[in-house]
Structure 1
Amino acid sequence: MSTVLIVEDEPAIADTLLYALRSEGYQAQHCALGRQALQLLRESAFDVVVLDVGLPDLGGFEVCRELRRFSEVPVIFLTARNDEIDRVLGLELGADDYVTKPFSPREMVARVRARLRRSGGAEEGGWAQRGDFAIDREGRRIRYRDAALELTRYEFALLAALLQRPGAILSRAQLMDRGWDSDSDSADRTVDTHIKTLRAKLRVAGADPDPIRTHRGLGYSLEA
């Protein structure tokens, strides 16, 4: 059963979302503060986060920025603001979707379902299926069409980040933030080097065409 964390300080909205999601068979949990959400996300596994931008203690943008330091869980921003600059900022910080208040609970459930369909799959024995890929995060293993990929630490980190958000374009800076130590002095070209070796290993495993796409001036995405 998929689990959804709702981070919303307005009780009426939170209750509506909890009811709508639970009625559709999801496990839904609620908290009202950004710092509490980060603690929950560090301690427990969630499949989707519905995150309000205007939280009283720590803004949703800051929560998302901190969350992306340790997790690739899909994030749907919920906000009363509809300014384009806010939507762009939220997506650049690593959000996957953006819903403006007032909204239909049915629409939110549909968006949660869509996020789960894109980022998830059936999990069995620690393995999560992502199209032709299967990933075991705890065991730091990835298979392509049942062929085990012999990956270095950085190759695993890069591919795992891309698999968490299929189709999303991740910049080199975002990939470095997920795959390298915080004190690393690696340059952006290091990401390109590891992507090159990763592509070579995928070709050996039978990946044709190349599932990793280069977006000039933007970064990389993966078609799982």
Structure 2
Amino acid sequence: MVRILLLEDDASLALGLEFSLKEEGYDVTHVSLVEECKKVFEQESFDLALLDVTLPDGNGYEVCKHIREQSNIPILFLTAMDDEVNVVLGLDIGADDYITKPFRVRELLSRIRAVLRRKGNTESGSRLKSGSIILDIDRAVLKRDREEIPLSAQEYKLMLIFMNNPEKILSRDEIFDLLSEGGGGFFEDNTLSVYIRRLREKIEADIADPEYIITHRGLGYKWNKRVTRE
């Protein structure tokens, strides 16, 4: 059974989330304070963490850093702060995804399933190669010029989407649908732009003149190189 650590100080929201997650078969441990969360994480084993950002005794970023010092479990932020600065900060310190309040339960469940699939990907091994980029699907690992590049769950899904659709312009709506597996509307334009920019920073030699992910204004994005499967 997947064990989830939920850090949320809003009692009513936490109660609803805990009920919904347990209905889906997850084992949930709820805490409402930063220090309590750190202590529980040290004492028990978890498969995923859901972290609120603003808390009475600190913030979820502090907890995320603490977890990342000793574990690579998926981390999702739950927060009402949806501005780009906070999204980028959350991703920078090691979060796999960022979901803004208010959100629909099915949206959260979809995000959870996505990050857990990334962690436990057991599909038959294959690699996608394009230029100096290699995406190892079996291990969910990206390499550029033989150097391993860390990816968040959404960045990994974006790489799969682009490399499975090379030299084809994908509209933002198409990307939204593929990211959320048909549940379009889970992602805002601003959030997708952040993911695209951060992915470019990791794979492009010059983000001002990208060679892999090309923007077609008014149309969408295109993976601009041939992709082979090995």
Q: TM-score range by the shorter chain?
A: 0.5 to 0.7
- TM-score between both structures, scaled by the size of structure 1: 0.56
Query: Are residue 74 (structure 1) and residue 74 (structure 2) matched?
Result: yes
Per-residue displacement from partner, 1:134-169 (whole Å, max 9, x unpaired)? xxxxxxxxxxx9xxxxxxxxxxxx98x96996965x
Query: Are residue 24 (structure 1) and residue 19 (structure 2) matched?
Result: no
SS of the residue aligned with 2:29?
Answer: strand
**Which residue of 2 is the match for residue 215 of structure 1?**
203
**Which residue of 1 is the match for residue 8 of structure 2?**
8
Contact kept? 1:48, 1:74, Cα under 8 Å: yes
- Deviation of residue 44 (structure 1)? 1.5
Contact kept? 1:77, 1:95, Cα under 8 Å: yes
Q: Summarize the alignment of residues 93-172 of structure 1 with structure 2, pairs less than 5 Å apart.
A: 93-120=93-120, 132=125
Q: Which runs of 4+ in 1 moved over 3 A?
A: 129-133, 161-168, 214-218
Contact kept? 1:49, 1:73, Cα under 8 Å: yes
Contact kept? 2:77, 2:97, Cα under 8 Å: yes
- Deviation of residue 24 (structure 1)? 0.7
- Deviation of residue 215 (structure 1)? 3.4
Unaligned runs of 5+ in 2: 127-137, 139-146, 157-201, 207-230
- Deviation of residue 69 (structure 1)? 1.0
Q: RMSD in angstroms over aligned alpha carbons?
A: 3.1
Q: What CA distance in whole angstroms lies between the structure 1 residues aligned with 2:205 and 2:85?
A: 20
- Deviation of residue 120 (structure 1)? 2.2
SS of the residue aligned with 2:12?
Answer: helix
Q: What CA distance in whole angstroms lies between the structure 2 residues aligned with 1:163 and 1:42?
A: 25
Per-residue displacement from partner, 1:182-223 (whole Å, max 9, x unpaired)? xxxxxxxxxxxxxxxxxxxxxxxxxxxxxxxx73679xxxxx
Closer, same or farther: CA 130–68 of 1 in aligned 2, 3 Å: farther
Closer, same or farther: CA 98–167 of 1 in aligned 2, 3 Å: closer
Contact kept? 2:74, 2:115, Cα under 8 Å: yes
Closer, same or farther: CA 215–163 of 1 in aligned 2, 3 Å: closer
- TM-score between both structures, scaled by the size of structure 2: 0.55
Contact kept? 1:20, 1:106, Cα under 8 Å: no
**Which residue of 2 is the match for residue 56 of structure 1?**
56
Q: Percent identity?
A: 39
Q: What CA distance in whole angstroms lies between the structure 1 residues aligned with 2:22 and 2:37?
A: 19
SS of the residue aligned with 2:54?
Answer: coil
Closer, same or farther: CA 49–131 of 1 in aligned 2, 3 Å: farther
Unaligned runs of 5+ in 1: 122-128, 134-144, 146-157, 169-213, 219-224
- Deviation of residue 37 (structure 1)? 1.2
How many residues are aligned here? 144
Closer, same or farther: CA 60–217 of 1 in aligned 2, 3 Å: farther
Counterpart AA for 1:88: V
SS of the residue aligned with 2:91?
Answer: helix
SS of the residue aligned with 1:91?
Answer: helix
Q: Summarize the alignment of residues 180-195 of structure 1 with structure 2, pairs less than 5 Å apart.
A: none
